[in-house]
Structure 1
Amino acid sequence: MSKILAFTNQKGGVGKTTSTANVGAGLARAGQRVLLVDLDPQANLTKGLGLVEAEQNVYGALLGEYRLKAYPLHENLALVAGSSALSGFEKVKGDELDREFLLKELLEPVRERCDYILLDCPPALGLVTLNAYACAQALYVPLEAQMYAADGLEKVLELVGRVRRRLNPELSVGGIFFTRHDGRKVLRRETAEELRALYPGLVLTSFIRESIALGEAPHLGQDIFTYAPQSAGAADYQALVAEILTR
C-alpha cells in the first residue's frame, strides 16, 4: 500500500511544485514506484514535467467523467495531469455529501501499484486542499526562511489539527524544509534558527539552495536530475529524498 505525501503551503512561490516534481523524480530514481498528482489549478507540475496535451486530468476523474489516468514520465514515475478547471471544484462539489473524501476514493484503486503518491496542493486552503489532507499520511511544507514565513505555516498546522480530529486521524506533518536558501544571509539564518526552535523535530536537516538550474528545468519539461544531475539543486533534492525515506 502506497504512502501518500502532500506538498503544501498557503503561500505561493515557495517551491512547492518544484519540490513535488523533484522529490518524486528522486524517489523514482531510488527504485520507488511514484505517482504524482497535480491538484493546483495552475497545472504547473503538469507543464513543468513536459505533459502538454493531456486529454484526461484529475478534475475530470474527480467528477466521474472517466477513470483516473496516469501518464508515464520515466521509469517508476507517472503523473496525473492537472487542470485549470480545478478552480471551480468547490462550486461544483461543495454541497455533495462526503465531498472531502472524493480524492481518497479516486486514489484507492491505484494505491497497491505505487510505493508513493505525491500530491501537489494549491496555495489555498479550500476543498481541493482539504481532499488532499483527508487522504494523506504526511504533509511536507516548503518554506523560504524570511519574514512572515511562519504565517502560512501556522494556518496549515491549524488545518492539520482540525483534519486530524474530524477526517483523518493518520495525518501528520512529515517535515518543514527551506527552499531558495542562502545561509550567507543573516536574516535567512536567523529565521531558520527561529523556526527550528518554534517547531522542534519538524524542521528537516535538508534544505534547497537557490539554483539557476532549478528554475530552468521546468521550461524544458524536465526534473532536475534529468536536466542537471551534477547541479547543487540535484544534490539538495537527493539529500531531501534520502531524509524523507527515513521518516
Structure 2
Amino acid sequence: MSKIIAFTNQKGGVGKTTSTANIGAGLARAGYKVLLVDLDPQINLTSGLGLTEAEFNVYGALLQEYKVKAYPIQDNLALIAGSPALSSFEKVKGDELDREFLLKDLLEPLLERCDYVLLDCPPALGLITLNAYACANALYIPLEAQLYATDGLEKVLEMVTRVQRRLNPTLVVGGIFFTRFDPRKVLRRETAEVVRDKYPDLVLTSTIRETIALGEAPHLGQDIFTYAPTSAGAMDYGHLVQEILTR
C-alpha cells in the first residue's frame, strides 16, 4: 500500500510545487513508484513537468466525467494533471454528501500500483485542500524563512488538528522544511531559528537553497535532477528525499 504525502502551505510562492516535483523525481530515481497529483488551479506542477496538453485531468475525474488518468513522466514517475477548473470545485461539490472524501475515493484504486502519492495542494485551505488532508498519511510544509512566514504555518497546523479530530485521525505532520534559504542573510537565519525553537520536532535538517537552476528547470519541463544533476538544488533535494525516507 502506498503512502500519500501532501505538500501544503496556506501561503503561496514558498516552493511547494517545486518541492512536489523534485521530491517526486528524487523518490522515482531511488526506485520507488511515484504518482504526482496536481491539485492547484494554477497547474504549475503539470506545466512544469512538460505536460502541456492533457486531455484528462483530476477535476474531470473528480466530477466522474471520465476515469482518472495518470500520464507517465519518466521511469517510476507519473502525473495526474491539474486543471484551472479546480477553482470552482468548492462551488460545484460544496453541498455534496461526503465531499471531503472525493479525492480519497478517486485515488483508492491506484494505491496498489504506487509506493508514494504526492499531492500538490493549492495555497488556500478550501475544499480541495481538505480533500488532500482527509486522504493523506502525512503533510510536509515548505516554508520560506522570512517575516510573516509563520502566519500560514499556524493556519495549516490549526486545520490539521481539526482534520485529525473529525476526518483523518491518522494524519501526521511529517515535517517543515525551509525553501529559498540563504544562510548569509541574518533575517533568514533568525526566522529559521525562531521556527526551530517553536517546533523542534517538526523542522527538518535539510534546507533548500535559493538557486537559479531550480527556477529554470520547469521552463524546460524538467525536474532538477534531469536539468542540473550536479547543482546545489539537486544536492539539497537529494538530501531532503533521504530525510523524508527515514521519517
Name the count of aligned residue pairs.
247
Residue in structure 2 matched with residue 76 of structure 1 by the alignment? 76
Residue identity opposite 2:133 in structure 1: Y
Corresponding position: 1:129 with 2:129: yes
Residue in structure 2 matched with residue 236 of structure 1 by the alignment? 236
Does the residue aligned with 1:97 lie in a helix, a strand or coil? coil
Does the residue aligned with 1:175 lie in a helix, a strand or coil? strand
Residue in structure 1 matched with residue 178 of structure 2 by the alignment? 178
Is there any run of 5+ residues in structure 2 with no aligned partner, and where? none
CA distance in 1, matches of 2:66, 2:160: 31
Counting only pairs closer than 5 Å after superposition, residues 55-74 of structure 1 correspond to structure 2 as 55-74=55-74
Residue identity opposite 2:127 in structure 1: L
CA distance in 2, matches of 1:29, 1:192: 30
Counting only pairs closer than 5 Å after superposition, residues 1-247 of structure 1 correspond to structure 2 as 1-247=1-247
Compute the TM-score of the two structures, normalised by the length of structure 2: 1.00
Q: What's the CA shift string for 1:209-237, capped at 9, x where partnerless?
A: 00000000000000000000000000000
CA distance in 2, matches of 1:92, 1:167: 21
Give aligned-pair identity as a percent: 82
CA distance in 2, matches of 1:134, 1:128: 10
CA distance in 2, matches of 1:90, 1:210: 34
Residue identity opposite 1:245 in structure 2: L
Residue identity opposite 1:45 in structure 2: L
Q: What's the CA shift string for 1:56-79, capped at 9, x where partnerless?
A: 000000000111100000000000
CA distance in 1, matches of 2:173, 2:2: 17
CA distance in 1, matches of 2:10, 2:195: 17
Q: What's the CA shift string for 1:136-191, capped at 9, x where partnerless?
A: 00000000101111100000000000000000001110000000000011111111
After TM superposition, what 4+ stretches of structure 1 lie above 4 angstroms from structure 2? none
CA distance in 2, matches of 1:85, 1:187: 38
Does the residue aligned with 1:201 lie in a helix, a strand or coil? coil
Q: What's the CA shift string for 1:76-119, capped at 9, x where partnerless?
A: 00000000000000000000000000000000000000000000
